[in-house]
Structure 1
Amino acid sequence: MTGLNPNKYYLYDELTAYLKRVADEFPDRARLFSIGESPEGRQIWVVALTDHTTGAHQNRPAYWIDGNTHASEVMGSAACLVTIDHVLTNWETSQIAELMQDRTIYVAPRINPDGSEYVLEKNHYVRSVRRKWPEPEPVLGLEPQDINGDNEVLQMRIKAPDGAWKTSSKDPRVMLPRMPWDTDGPFYHIYAEGLFDEDALRDPRRPMMAGDSHALDFNRNFPSRWEPEGTQYGAGPYPLSEPETKAVVDFLLSHKNVGAMMTYHTYSGVLLRPFGDKPDTKMPNYDLAAYKLFGKRCEELTGFACVSTFHDFLYDPNKPVVGVFEEWAYENYGAFAYTMELWCPWDKAGLDFKGNWLGFWRDRTEEDELALIQWSDKELGGDGFADWVEFEHPQLGKIELGGWRWLYSFRNCPARMLKDETLPSVLFTLDHASALPRPRLDVRVEEAGDETRVVATLQNLGYFPTNITDLAVKNSLVGSPLLEVELGDGVELKEGKLRQKAQHLSGYSQMTSATLSSQHFSGRTRNDIAEYVWRVKGKGALVVRWKGDRIGVLEKLVEI
């Protein structure tokens, strides 16, 4: 056991202490290192899980898992910690033992330590961080904050004849949009709990959020079809302008052994795949088939459907989302990457928005709102919603405070549900990681008169090919593997090359990708294996080395 409390949201110091303890207690299985430092001085930690006694983590095909790119989506960080705990606790089980024997899992639990710490401590939403963007100076308006000392930032509702909101006649806690035919009040204005800047308070429009000056979105800052702020809200001043996003990309570009990835977000209960800006017809057939196959596996394990961002998850169908990590990972790095939107409160409440994934924000009815609050009353013990109570606001006079405790009801699940809600997704990532290439290098020597034939057999026992995606080959995102021979003293090369390009090897996915039925399968040329031959003369040692972007480094020492 690793000592993890799987039903707890960890602050940065607690998370750091847990990761250091794991690295200390399991030195042969877990290595901890930082890939960067946040502007507030916090480390961006990564744990490398593999059997470190049999090889270096960077020399093996690898899987990447991260969480907490967005500050308030702390459930992703919890899923990462559950991953570490599950792998180490179940190390001897067949799947994990085989996986850790020759592959690596990199886990980055908290990409955004500064923003997440603010959310966890203040219980207040911020998209990524509290850095000023796009305005260099604060936007005057409402500054959300706890004004009644209960350590919560909820909502304020104020009766007003010109208010845009009304209460439900079936449950006065529920706020509904006012319609043109609604003539009988009371009507309300709704604000986040907080205080107004004095200038804003005198403005009859009462500008809403000073928080608009903290509009950076890390998941619009990656260098995949990045566009500036005027086109893509939250994009930042230029690609990878933020130390956190740059740290992730720098690490991956220096560790090209990563072939597949999962980035955890919340909330919709859906698995997203590329593309985000174009239709499936633009994706190579093999890549699309692989994405869909593992998408089905995800749905079997989690209940979450796998959908194309472009076809099914655009906020505006005429405005693709760009600068996204998953898109960069597939289109510019060459890995199979998914975004998991953990947690689906409306599904828990019995509402069905499948096929209309963004409809929850746009198409909710009064009955939907009532179902949600009834679910909160029954399943969350009322912890998801704070009943409205009167309060004397220092600026506005008599108001009511209350509303959804959004952080642990909508944005994330309650802490007590964490393990049950994240473990199915963890199991899916292990299945996905199990598809990585499994390169094998065998070298034999054969006497040939006064010379020796050295025969290297290269084989891929894995599901994915050594290039991972077809797009990676098409766009030259992976180089050709290299095969090298290093001659010891007394050994002379007579035929063959000391250094040459080797071919990419298929995985067994490409044996079955045309049909998943064996009924009509009549065999296919095996491209998962290749042989290379050298002739040498003399006596001594010789090293054969096979290395490539997605396979790492394999080598064999033989005596001639």
Structure 2
Amino acid sequence: MGTSRIGRGVHKILLSFWSGILLVFLLGVAGPAEAAANIVNPDQVYSYTIMQRDIERLVKAYPDLVSMESLGQSPYGRQLWAVKLGRGESVLFLNGSHHAREWMTTTVLMKMIDTYAQAYANNTAIAGYNVRQLLDEVSIWLVPMVNPDGVTLAQQGTAGLPAALAQTLRRYNGNSTNFTRWKANMQGVDLNRQYPANWNTIRNAGSYPWYQNYKGQRPAQAPEVKTMMDFTYRIDPEVTISYHSSGEIIFWHFNTLGSNLSRDRTMARALGSLTGYSLVAPENNPSGGGYKDWFIQEFGRPGFTIEIAQYAGETSVPLSQFASIWKNNRTVGLYSAGQSYSLWMKKQKVQYLQQSMDLLAGTQLYSRIGASASGINLLPQRLHVIAKKGDWYQVQVSEGVGWIHPASGKLAVVEEVMATAELKVSSPAYKYPDRYAPKVTNLEPQTVQVTGRWGNWLLASTPSGSWWIDGRMAELIWPVKQTEQDTATEPGQAVPSEPEVSGQIVPESVSTP
């Protein structure tokens, strides 16, 4: 369903300099991937500018775990940033700040990224959730601020805007200069009344541009909403959560099919238990137009709207409430990631591979998919892979036939090579090709023998053993073939090289949506 609409209206703008930043970062790293100190400070009015700065810092701190991309621009030129956290094939999607005065939802989502990334890097659990395993299985996509124009207006008022625009916005605001109550985008359209789900019968909708509740002239009229719809089709999430901030309640039902009712109610009750929020009872003729409504209607999958705070009226939630809000929502992303993975796995079909692959680190062998105990520990070896289902692999080994669920970098098809690599700087060496693998040592600048390659990674032979290094930190040098030496008969004639493969390995893109 999603592939036919990929890119429709969504112009993905990757920052071209991120590859360079990543390389500079790697060249300066003396040790393994480690958690940075807290990056997101929630004890402030969290603006678009602060969010953008923090996203960039998170990407720099966790380049193999966090990436960013622009989905396009808002009507007034601000980027709609999407952040990807995790490395799994299944997808969970979280978004916030559809409504301008509800900008604290952005803070919650940014705090999630920061907290989960730290736990992943340190390999620590959060409230019993194995963060590293979850983020190896699931990619959490987040659009922390759907409405950056409206948020900026609600926080800063009309300061710095052209006089004519400021006058128009004051008129949309009932001639009031109090923009803290502003809910719409800067065109006076309520973005959460814009989705094509019972749009014609939305209740309590204004009929002209206003600071709140105007549903527009047609569904998906607002560029921000069109962008959100196109992005959702592209990433094809199993579960979505749209964060709002009024009432400590959870909306979970929108004309939900009877076959999905038990599934969605079970998830809603679990979210209610985690947060302490009440579930909103289903309605026979619900007023629609919201992101959650559209997602349930279009995809038939679990979608939720979580209202994080006590009713604040026509203003933003006080900063003093953030600590309790964060306590209530700290594990929402982790629980929902687990549910997303389970739903994704149920849809996967078995693919028969019948190929040899290299197991590069110890991994448990199980009798069935989904098992988490009573496995047999497999040592690194070349094994025969029979089939794949999702991110599980059926293998034939001396112990018999079973299933493995290898973490990133543990299972690969390693290309055997005979070359050398010149390390220009001190480079960390790992047990297997992943920056979150156990680090063995630091290799000082030197020339090492290379016997294997997988992607950007090189298997380097050292006096202490063979370890993996990031090839972006080395210059790979291929040996000159004997036949090429024979052709160099003239004095001073240069020996041809292998232009197709010689030289420094080019880093892959940072963002992998």
Out of 47, 59, 63, the residue aligned to residue 23 of structure 1 is 59
Q: 2:258 aligns with which of 283, 289, 314?
A: 283
Partner of 1:144: 176
Q: Is the 8 A contact 1:8 1:418 kept in 2?
A: no
Distance 2:386 2:227 in 1: 35
In the alignment, which of 308, 316, 323 is matched to residue 281 of structure 2? 308
The verdict on how the C-alpha distance between 1:467 and 1:118 changes in structure 2, with shifts beyond 3 A counting, is: farther
Q: 1:238 aligns with which of 201, 218, 225?
A: 218
The letter of the residue matching 1:431 is Y
Determine the structure 1 residue equivalent to 2:105: 76
Letter of the aligned partner of 1:260 in structure 2?
V
CA–CA separation in structure 1 for the residues paired with 2:58 and 2:140: 15
Letter in 2 for 1:407: T
RMSD, aligned α-carbons: 4.1
Number of the residue aligned with 1:407: 315
Compute the displacement of 1:424 (Å). Answer: 1.8
Which residue in 1 is equivalent to 2:45?
Answer: 9
> How far apart, in 1, do the equivalents of 2:180 and 2:293 lie?
34
Question: Would you say 1:115 and 2:144 are equivalent positions?
Answer: no
Contact 2:202 2:288 in 1 (8 A): no
Of 57, 63, 76, 1:40 maps to: 76
Task: Give the structure 1 partner of residue 117 of structure 2.
Answer: 88
8 Å CA contact 2:238–2:344 kept in 1: the answer is no
CA contact (8 A) 2:147 2:185 kept: no
Q: 1:336 aligns with which of 268, 277, 302?
A: 302
Asked whether the 8 Å contact 2:246–2:309 carries over to 1, the reply is yes
SS of residue in 2 equivalent to 1:423: helix
Q: Distance in 1 between matches of 2:275 and 2:222?
A: 33
Query: Which structure 2 residues correspond to residues 269-280 of structure 1 after superposition, within 5 A?
Result: 269-275=248-254, 278=255
What's the offset of the Cα at 1:250? Answer: 0.9
**Paired position in structure 1 for 2:21:** none
Task: Provide Cα deviations, 1:379-422, integer angstroms capped at 9, x if missing partner.
Answer: xxxxxxxxxxxxxxxxxxxxxxxxx8x524xxx1x213313313
8 Å Cα contact 1:465/1:507 also seen in 2: no
1:324 aligns with 2:309: no
Taking structure 2 as the reference length, what is the TM-score of the superposition? Answer: 0.54
1:336 CA displacement: 1.1
Q: Secondary structure at the match of 1:329?
A: helix
Cα 1:37–1:87 shift into 2, 3 Å = same
Structure 2 residues without counterparts, runs of 5 or longer: 1-36, 160-164, 207-213, 357-367, 372-383, 392-407, 416-513
Task: Identify if the C-alpha distance between structure 1 residues 104 and 249 changes in structure 2 by more than 3 Å, giving closer, same or farther.
Answer: same
Q: 2:132 aligns with which of 97, 110, 114?
A: 97
Corresponding residue SS for 2:303: strand
Match of 1:255?
235
Kindly report which structure 2 residues correspond to 1:306-385, keeping only aligned pairs within 5 A, or say none. 306-310=279-283, 320-345=286-311
Amino acid at match of 1:265: H
Partner residue in 2 for 1:265:
244
Please say if 1:61 is aligned against 2:93. no
Q: Of 314, 334, 337, which residue of structure 2 is paired with 1:433?
A: 337
Indicate the SS of the match to 1:32.
Answer: strand
CA distance in 2, matches of 1:249, 1:214: 19
Of 193, 203, 206, 1:220 maps to: 193
For the structure 1 residues 142 and 302, does the alpha-carbon distance in structure 2 shift closer, same or farther, using more than 3 Å as the test?
A: closer
CA distance in 2, matches of 1:212, 1:106: 22
State the shift of 1:241 in Å: 1.5
Q: Given residue 62 of structure 1, which amino acid in structure 2 is its aligned partner?
A: V
SS of the equivalent of 1:237 reads coil
Aligned-residue offset at 1:265:
0.5
Change in Cα spacing, 1:426 to 1:36, as seen in structure 2 (3 Å) is farther
The CA distance in 2 between the partners of 1:237 and 1:262, in whole Å, is: 26
1:64 Cα offset (Å): 0.6
CA distance in structure 1 between the partners assigned to 2:148 and 2:346 by the alignment: 33
Change (3 A) 1:335 1:557: farther
**Distance change (3 Å), C-alpha of 1:153 and 1:12:** closer
> How far is the alpha carbon of 1:245 from its aligned partner?
0.9
What is the one-letter code of the residue matched to 2:315? L
